[in-house]
A and B are shown apart, each in its own frame.
Chain A
Amino acid sequence: MSTRSGRFAFDVESFQWVGKKLGFYGSLFVLTLVSMFPVIWMFVTSIKQPANVVQFPVHYLPQNPTLENYATALSQAPFLRYLVNSAIVAGGTAIVDVVLGALAGYALSRLRFQYKLHVLLLILGTAMLPYISRLIPLFSLARSWGLLNDYLGLIVPYSAFQLPFAVWIFQAYFKELPDSLEEAGLMDGLSRIGVLFRIILPVSAPAMATTAIIVFIYAWNEFLFALTFMTQDQMRTITVGIALYQGQYQYPWGTISAAVFMSIVPLMLFMLFFQQRVVEGLTAGTGKA
């Protein structure tokens, strides 16, 4: 707010301006570097010659970069299979939660009925309780239903755990839609179900994408249930596969780095392309005045 009375004042101001800009972008740069460094480091480790992985002092630029660690990872352990398992489980969970979340979210946000609050409290209340307190009973259920080492054995609990979240995103989204949508549909002679399937669901693609992405990331990352329910090597998800992988002689950091980097590439692409959806999903219904 200074008055630009003379040249000197103007100079001081522009100096301050440059300083502020530098400070701002400097902080951003540091934040970004600190956030990404571990991933960059896994990549650097993964393309080193296997013999050069364990060297000290550390080489920051790999000499003669190679894909050997990747070849080892893909041949020694079924890492590709783990990735496919994870994709099936995460994809299945996302589909179940999009369908159930959309239907329940619609009922809770746009229909009037008794006990609405009770149903909402039940759905959201289950989200507050620790996962470990469900592990043992679900383990015995899965065993008696023959769902251990079966994709469904993970899809079912994951869907149930993330359903409150899905319902929350959908009902927040549906609340924003104008009332006239249903009215117009009913006037045109559609039934309520017709309105839901022909009008409401087609316009809820953004909420579907948001839910699918968040649920997918959760299921891709989950470890406790995946470790407990998938006991056969061929059925393991990528998180369990990497956590349990042991080399033959010493711990194979090069191979692990390659496997880790392969497992996080999909997530990186997700974050880059769908960041807005992720942000929307995580902040649905919070703090938006």
Chain B
Amino acid sequence: MTDTVDHAGGSPGDPSDGSVSGVRSRLRRYRELRLTEEELATALLTPVVCFLLLISFYPIVDTVWGSFHQGYVLEMEPTTFVGLENYEAVLSSGSFWNALQVSLIYTFVSVPIELVIGLGMALLLNRAFTGKYVVQAAILFPWALPTVINAKIWAWMLHGQYGVVNDLLIRLGVLQEPYAFLAHPDVALASMTLITIWKTSSFMALILLAGLSGIPDHLYEAVRMDGASRWRQFRDITLPLLKPTILVALIFRTLPAFQAFGLPYGLTGGGPAEATTTLVLYDQQLTFTQLAFGRGSAVATIITLIALVISLLYVGTLYEPEVR
């Protein structure tokens, strides 16, 4: 940034000198009624910030407030402050702890597996080849599928009597007779986890692919000269340099996985026996089926806190300022 023009709004140059900034400040005086950078930025950002504060930020504060009250939202009764009563009710409920466990298992089993598969896919796609465009579109397609519609697709494919998965497994000799995958608690949760892995590994691959393309080739060439194996190249160059991208990919996938709702809703409705009831599904049923708005707000607040903790943990463990 040596001889570039300094931006207006900061320090106006002396109008008398012949420098570019001098000319610019003369121009600015010439157009006194026009906006400075500062004013234009304010004009552009105020509506956006107000919009976000009202629709995105205030509701969260309101939810926290609601979690300490009873009769919230229901216009029939006045809202009363009840302190920690909602939290006590939630934390002493077996269904809440079950939902927390389901969400944690689902999230922390699916995300690491997605990372490994996504990394494999990214390494495979990290080159030019014929038909790359079509392959990439096909691989990315599952990510674009609406979650709840995807749930319906798999509910049909995993159908206990007529499902194509049963048919394939019988033809392959894995099964003797059709098996009702979604009627057994553990298998239903495992199925739900596998479906997510199928759907979003490619998203992981895409993020990692962007990271891979940012690694300069000459680094590889240098160690190839030293006769380093493929594995050594991967371990000593690819992985360390990919770390920031991996962090982004993990956060991008963990937070949505922790908020899974459409998949259990459409696949199993949360059953059998709450085996696939994730936290958000539990919260949604609590709030809009049982109309327990106070307890629903308490669960939503707990979900928000856990999401924040997860983000901070990731950043804390994986963030390294300035890798040299």
A interface list, Cβ under 8 A from B: 24, 27-28, 31-32, 34-36, 38-39, 41-42, 45, 53-58, 100, 103-104, 106-108, 111-114, 116, 119, 122-123, 126, 128-141, 156-157, 159-161, 163-164, 167, 179, 183, 186-187, 189, 191-193, 196, 217, 220-221, 223-224, 228, 238-240, 242-243, 253, 256-257, 260, 263-264, 267-268, 270-272, 275, 278-279, 282-283, 286-289
Contacts and interface: CB of A to CB of B under 8 A. Distances in A.
A243 B207 contact: no
Contacts, number: 295
A128 B308 contact: yes
Contacts of B5: 179, 183
Contacts of B206: 279, 282-283
B144 A122 contact: no
A73 B44 CA distance: 46
24 contacts: A28-B131, A34-B198, A54-B162, A56-B161, A56-B166, A100-B47, A112-B41, A113-B9, A123-B52, A129-B304, A130-B258, A130-B280, A133-B63, A134-B63, A136-B59, A136-B296, A137-B58, A140-B73, A159-B55, A186-B27, A217-B144, A264-B146, A275-B137, A287-B244
A107 B45 contact: yes
A104 B48 contact: yes
Contacts of B152: 242-243, 256, 260
Interface in B200-217: 202-203, 206-216
Central interface residue in A113, A157, A193, A268, by most chain B CB within 10 Å: A113
A128 B129 CA distance: 37
Nearest to A55: B162
B284 interface: yes
A54 B161 CA distance: 8
A260 B153 contact: yes
Given A186-B24, A289-B215, A112 B144 contact: no
B71 interface: no
Contact of B300 (A38, A135, A275, A288): A135
Nearest to A100: B48
B56 A136 contact: no
Contact of A138 (B36, B55, B162): B55
Contacts of B113: none
Given A28-B124, A39-B141, A163-B52, A132 B149 contact: no
Interface string B129-163: 10101111111111011111111111011010110
Contacts of B150: 38
Given A140-B73, A286-B248, A289-B214, A271 B55 contact: no
Contacts of A107: 40-41, 44-45
Given A223-B262, A282-B203, A133 B141 contact: no
Contacts of A106: 44
B96 interface: no
B48 A126 contact: no
B190 interface: no
Nearest to B142: A35
Contact of A287 (B34, B140, B147, B210): B210
